[in-house]
């Protein structure tokens, strides 16, 4: 029989993932971006506080700034009387000093006037009608209701560490220091190269034998969601010369992804090019769908060849591409969300490979959504997938299965 099948380096899935992950490193390049665009980006260096936050002792409550000792013994039935010498509204401060027997009305957040060392909450005080004096109904101890300078963040303190992902709360910590721009790691630059004579750009009429480019759009969306900066290349005819030219043209990227032709010969071509120009690390993975996936390194750059069939391509992207891009982007690997369901009908696998079976979950039952590896609706109508081990051929109706959800 013909030796057309070229899968000489067929590897198990875990081995393939391991090989890819070991071949790439997190991006070292950094950039400084406006804080408005920094959410979910990865901090490129430790942030050391340049100021105290709060930058001054401030009132933690609306009330009256006092000398604590003037309030000792005060109670609801035995109020102390203090002279009101000033009023601080939000955003105001004063040079006046609170002397013995005096107080200043103060809004939350205002700097504590000199002389005062505590704040009596407004609820426990009562101003006279003429506004000249205040009855204090409750004693306060020194520092009560005061947020001391540096209580939140101390100048010189490491407030965020290199490698942290900027959540809204961490964005807040940067803003509290007045930082307008943030040093972050650059996103990995990934080139997605759709290949195939029969592939047509969206929006144009199909000629006989042509189909639309699906893979460059599914891969770009998935990559963008996982922290990559994507260049979607024009469609490349899958000749040896065109593929090789495209490879070198996009070798300035951090990762080159070919979403390949659907036929075996084309995969041989890309494998040959990688072998000639660099190192082919595997060609073919023991999973279904997705046998033709290949991986190698050319001039230090990782090159991934994905199956041409849309459903195979995208499901393999979840398995191989997402982990590698997240590693490069310094994002933590996603923990899959798994739900239990009962198989809605008997399913027989005859692949002899590990199989990803897409399913739709309705009322706790898992219905196979997989049609053929060519079928994008196998994925677009699915909620998740089941992994059938190599040695398992049948799932009985009613059997419990673990469904890994998309997202």
Which is closer to its own copies, CB of 227 or CB of 278? 227
**Is 268 a residue that touches its own copies (CB under 8 A)?**
no
* Residue list 62-91, contact with its own copies (CB under 8 A): 62, 89-91
Q: Please say whether the dihedral angle defined by the alpha carbons of residues 136, 138, 139 and 145, taken in this order, is positive or negative.
A: negative
**Is 236 a residue that touches its own copies (CB under 8 A)?**
no
| Least distance from its own copies to the Cβ atom of residue 77, Å | 13
From candidates 11, 65, 118, 160, binder to its own copies by CB under 8 A: 160
**Is 97 a residue that touches its own copies (CB under 8 A)?**
no
**Is 211 a residue that touches its own copies (CB under 8 A)?**
yes
**Is 202 a residue that touches its own copies (CB under 8 A)?**
yes
Which is closer to its own copies, CB of 23 or CB of 117? 117
Local structure of residue 386 (DSSP, 8 states): E
| H or E element, residue 18 | helix 13-23
Which is closer to its own copies, CB of 69 or CB of 152? 152
| Least distance from its own copies to the Cβ atom of residue 259, Å | 11
**Is 259 a residue that touches its own copies (CB under 8 A)?**
no
Q: How would you class 192 by CB atoms within 10 Å of its CB: exposed for 0-12, middle for 13-18, buried for 19 or more?
A: buried
From candidates 132, 180, 299, 346, binder to its own copies by CB under 8 A: 180
First and final CA of the chain: distance in angstroms?
Answer: 43
From candidates 21, 33, 176, 297, binder to its own copies by CB under 8 A: 176
Residue 317 CA to residue 301 CA, distance in Å, equals 18
Give the strand pairing for 338-343 and 294-298.
unpaired
| H or E element, residue 342 | strand 338-343
Residue 258 CA to residue 251 CA, distance in Å, equals 12
Beta strands (DSSP E) in 22-117 are: 30-34, 47-48, 58-59, 63-66, 80-88, 102-106
The residues near 230 (Cβ < 8 Å, ≥ 6 apart) are: 190, 191, 192, 219, 220, 223, 224
**Is 12 a residue that touches its own copies (CB under 8 A)?**
no
**Is 348 a residue that touches its own copies (CB under 8 A)?**
no
Question: In the chain, what's the furthest Cα-to-Cα distance?
Answer: 107
Local structure of residue 352 (DSSP, 8 states): S
Other beta carbons within 10 angstroms of residue 354's beta carbon come to 20
From candidates 12, 30, 56, 342, binder to its own copies by CB under 8 A: 56
Local structure of residue 42 (DSSP, 8 states): B
Which is nearest to 190 in space by CA: 50, 315, 320?
A: 320
* Residue list 288-327, contact with its own copies (CB under 8 A): 308, 310, 314, 317
Which is closer to its own copies, CB of 117 or CB of 378? 378
**Is 332 a residue that touches its own copies (CB under 8 A)?**
no
Binding segment for its own copies (CB under 8 A), chosen from 104-112, 274-282, 297-305, 348-356, is 104-112
Binding mask 360-379 for its own copies (x = CB under 8 A): -----------xx-xxxx-x
**Is 204 a residue that touches its own copies (CB under 8 A)?**
yes
The residues near 101 (Cβ < 8 Å, ≥ 6 apart) are: 70, 82, 83
Binding segment for its own copies (CB under 8 A), chosen from 12-20, 37-45, 245-253, 345-353, is 37-45
Which is closer to its own copies, CB of 144 or CB of 281? 144
Which is closer to its own copies, CB of 56 or CB of 367? 56
Give the strand pairing for 229-232 and 189-194.
parallel
**Is 196 a residue that touches its own copies (CB under 8 A)?**
yes
From candidates 30, 86, 133, 224, binder to its own copies by CB under 8 A: 224
From candidates 210, 231, 349, 351, binder to its own copies by CB under 8 A: 210
């Amino acid at each position: 029989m013909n030796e057309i099948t070229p899968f000489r380096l067929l590897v198990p899935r875990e081995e393939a993932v391991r090989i890819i992950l070991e071949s790439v490193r997190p991006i070292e390049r950094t950039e400084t971006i406006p804080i408005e665009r920094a959410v979910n980006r990865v901090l490129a260096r430790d942030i050391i506080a340049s100021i105290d936050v709060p930058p001054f002792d401030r009132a933690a409550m609306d009330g009256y700034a006092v000398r604590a000792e003037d309030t000792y013994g005060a109670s609801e039935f035995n109020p102390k009387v203090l002279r009101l010498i000033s009023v601080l509204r939000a955003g105001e401060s004063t040079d006046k000093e609170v002397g013995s027997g005096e107080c200043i009305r103060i809004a939350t957040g205002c700097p504590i006037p000199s002389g005062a060392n505590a704040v009596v909450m407004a609820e426990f005080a009562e101003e006279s009608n003429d506004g000249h004096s205040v009855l204090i109904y409750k004693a306060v101890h020194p520092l009560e209701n005061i947020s001391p300078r540096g209580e939140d963040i101390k100048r010189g303190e490491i407030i965020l560490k290199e490698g942290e992902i900027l959540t809204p709360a961490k964005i807040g910590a940067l803003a509290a220091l007045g930082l307008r721009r943030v040093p972050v790691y650059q996103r990995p630059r990934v080139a997605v190269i759709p290949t195939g004579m029969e592939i047509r750009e969206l929006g144009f009429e199909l000629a006989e034998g042509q189909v639309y480019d699906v893979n460059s759009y599914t891969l770009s969306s998935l990559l963008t969601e996982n922290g990559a900066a994507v260049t979607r290349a024009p469609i490349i005819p899958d000749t040896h010369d065109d593929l090789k030219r495209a490879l070198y043209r996009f070798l300035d990227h951090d990762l080159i992804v070919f979403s390949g032709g659907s036929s075996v010969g084309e995969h041989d071509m890309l494998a040959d090019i990688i072998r000639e120009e660099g190192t082919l690390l595997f060609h073919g993975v023991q999973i279904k769908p997705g046998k033709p996936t290949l991986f190698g390194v050319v001039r230090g750059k990782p090159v991934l060849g994905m199956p041409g069939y849309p459903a195979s391509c995208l499901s393999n992207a979840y398995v191989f591409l997402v982990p590698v891009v997240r590693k490069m982007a310094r994002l933590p690997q996603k923990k899959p969300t798994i739900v239990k369901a009962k198989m809605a009908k008997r399913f027989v696998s005859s692949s002899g490979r590990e199989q990803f079976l897409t399913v739709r979950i309705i009322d706790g039952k898992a219905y196979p959504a997989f049609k053929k590896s060519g079928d994008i609706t196998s994925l677009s109508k699915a909620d998740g997938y089941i992994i059938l081990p190599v040695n398992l051929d049948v799932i009985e109706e009613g059997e419990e299965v673990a469904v890994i959800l998309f997202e």
